[in-house]
Amino acid sequence: MNGKATRLREQAFAKLTEAQSLVGTDDSVSAENLDRFNALMSEFTALDDAAGKAQSEGDLVGTMRDRLGFYTQKATGSPLRMKETVLDPTSSMSLGEQFVASEAYQGLRASGALSSERASFKSEPVIFTPRAAAMARAFGAATDIIQTESGGPANALVIPQYLPGILPLPQRELVVRDLFGAGSMDSDVVSYAQQTSFDNAAAAVAQAVSATGSGTTGGVKPQSSIGWGRVTSPAETIATWMATTRQALADAGQVAALIDNQGRIMMRLEEEDQLLNGDGTSPNLSGIYDQAIQTADLTALGLDNLDGVRRVRRLIRTGVSRASADAIVLNPEDSEYFDTLKDLDGNYRGGNPIGNFGFNQPIWSLRRVESEAISVGSALIGAFKVGATVLERQPITVYTADQHADFFVRNLVVILFEERLGFPVFWPSAFCDVTLADWGS
């Protein structure tokens, strides 16, 4: 029962008790006390009705959105569209700080649902619109933040000298999505024509000398052909959720840290794996390795890794796509081997590591990117900007609710992160899966 209803019930009970004291042992009220008895019973009835109304209103906190949505659906055939809060990736405030300052979160706190023991709720959606440059920061990831130590939920985070936020665990750098082009999609499926062949038979042709001549010497023009294939790329959903407590959710500092340091990095880690390794079987995206890309085994070609990278760059330039490779993606272990290559005199091939040498310096002018999403012994070289594009159907959106299992009675809250992406690969031949040669000595 909420606080207002409880107070009204107590006042009503006091009136009823006083009225009962005026009733004699024979269950009658004397004439001199009858007016007072009737007045007390009238006040009791009014207070009891008010308490019932207050209790009903309290039960509706947090469920009003669901009820409005349900009846709007029945009346109009379409669900009630609640207002959204869209966060700005270019703001000086982090996404978590913007979430805390958003109308959706402030409205949730003002509703009293977080402090009520009975009220269920579901927040308005808050949408992230991250650009590649704005989402490149790497934060830590963690699992559910339910604190089980003695002293109550989130007790370990509330200490005499409180440091707001959550100290993140270091995670791998997120860089793969930045390599591709970026855009948005207005449908659940994007369809495009993909060129599959280019047969150029253009040639100099002599003037015809007779009406029956054949071949180019007879003035017959050679025929060329271009092959095309229709390709569709559906939008797929990437999502995750975590559990927290109402108390932790009510703490603005913890909410901001949870979004910035935890939820977003979890989404980006899976996103990166999908863009490279998704097998195309729904709900997975069709990643680069799922395409008919070029392959090169440097050992079979008789090349060391430095010469092999240069050869693959040329293969992409002269392939069907005629694209110029712009990056190479390596596992950090193989990237280290490139850095430590030495000539016969013991000098580093990449230059002085103490002076002008820098980590992740380009290889044959290809931007070098390290990612644990690619296996040791492999490299991916390609024209990333023109070869494929990441299309956002739904940017990262965060929801909060307590309607999950027995979370309502345990004062637990779900924070759900969700996005939908499409990934059309326009030029598979603009990428090459490279099997590196043995590093040897």
Q: What is the pLDDT of residue 308?
A: 96
91 domain residue, yes or no: yes
Same domain, 141 and 20: no
What span, in angstroms and rounded, lies between the C-alpha atoms of 317 and 209?
Answer: 40
Task: Convert the pLDDT of each residue in 214-254 to its tens digit.
Answer: 665 567 888 888 777 788 888 898 888 878 777 777 776 67
Same domain, 117 and 240: yes
332 domain residue, yes or no: no
96 domain residue, yes or no: yes
Task: Convert the pLDDT of each residue in 284-311 to its tens digit.
Answer: 999 999 999 999 999 999 999 999 999 9
Give the tokens for residue 273: 């794996």
Asked if residue 82 lies in contact with residue 122, where contact means CB atoms within 8 angstroms, the answer is: no
Same domain, 158 and 268: yes
Same domain, 11 and 152: no
274 domain residue, yes or no: yes
Give the tokens for residue 401: 């609710």
What is residue 390's three-state secondary structure? strand
Asked if residue 399 lies in contact with residue 341, where contact means CB atoms within 8 angstroms, the answer is: no
Domain that holds residue 52: 3-60
What span, in angstroms and rounded, lies between the C-alpha atoms of 234 and 253?
Answer: 37
Same domain, 52 and 92: no
Same domain, 23 and 118: no
435 domain residue, yes or no: no
Q: Are strands 181-184 and 367-370 parallel, antiparallel or unpaired?
A: unpaired
Q: What is the pLDDT of residue 200?
A: 76
User: Can you list the residues of the chain whose pLDDT is less than 70?
Assistant: 1-3, 55-90, 95, 108, 111-174, 195-196, 198, 210-218, 252-253, 257-258, 260-261, 355-359, 441
Q: What is the pLDDT of residue 139?
A: 34
Q: What is the pLDDT of residue 73?
A: 53
144 domain residue, yes or no: yes
CA-to-CA separations, 110 to 61, 100, 105, 147, 234, in angstroms, rounded: 11, 12, 9, 25, 40
What span, in angstroms and rounded, lies between the C-alpha atoms of 287 and 283?
Answer: 12
Same domain, 119 and 27: no
Average model confidence (pLDDT) across the chain: 76
Same domain, 49 and 159: no
Q: What is the pLDDT of residue 169?
A: 54
Spatial neighbors of 138 by CB under 8 A, at least 6 apart, are 170, 171, 172, 173, 174, 265
Same domain, 156 and 17: no
Question: Of the candidates 99, 60, 62, 85, which has an alpha carbon nearest to the alpha carbon of residue 402?
Answer: 62
Question: Of the candidates 99, 117, 406, which has an alpha carbon nearest to the alpha carbon of residue 247?
Answer: 117
391 domain residue, yes or no: no
Same domain, 167 and 263: yes
What span, in angstroms and rounded, lies between the C-alpha atoms of 346 and 281?
Answer: 49
For the chain, the domain total comes to 2
Same domain, 53 and 90: no
441 domain residue, yes or no: no
Spatial neighbors of 111 by CB under 8 A, at least 6 apart, are 61, 62, 119, 121
Task: Convert the pLDDT of each residue in 155-196 to its tens digit.
Answer: 554 545 545 545 555 555 567 888 898 888 888 888 877 766
Asked if residue 429 lies in contact with residue 387, where contact means CB atoms within 8 angstroms, the answer is: no
Asked if residue 391 lies in contact with residue 184, where contact means CB atoms within 8 angstroms, the answer is: yes
Give the tokens for residue 96: 């978590």
Same domain, 28 and 97: no
